Structure 1
């Protein structure tokens, strides 16, 4: 099977009915920070909702809850960087120049 054929097969297998949530943290007692993905858990959006809205969101979307970094394979930690880390961490390229 060629690479083009493999890509076509994987595109056909993309299931938009599969939805995933990974809780990343909390802001005070009111807000939940989480990742939301459709079809593939590796491609996600970072979201924040109030707890009651988060619970309703998960119920309405029939999500699969993911635990921690279960999708980060060894050697791929550089790709596990999150936008929310921007206020507390520097980019790797900046660290290596010091």
Structure 2
């Protein structure tokens, strides 16, 4: 189980949180102009890479606030937690073959 350090409530068990997908994805400026394929790409096609990912999480059983997490998808190590709207911190490069 992960221990996630909520920036508002402090460290809590992973079961208190809900995953909100990849972070820092810009919404389409004119969503009504997208065709079905472009809309599906925006909604469902995520990077899903092996290594460090920037993710959105919500403390659904606590303060109910959203925040970003930099997490290594191989080791599950949480490298950083930072507020929504903030730029991601400088993170070490990790290479997995």
Relative to the length of structure 1, the TM-score reads: 0.30
Relative to the length of structure 2, the TM-score reads: 0.30
More strand by share: 2
More helix by share: 1
Larger radius of gyration: 1
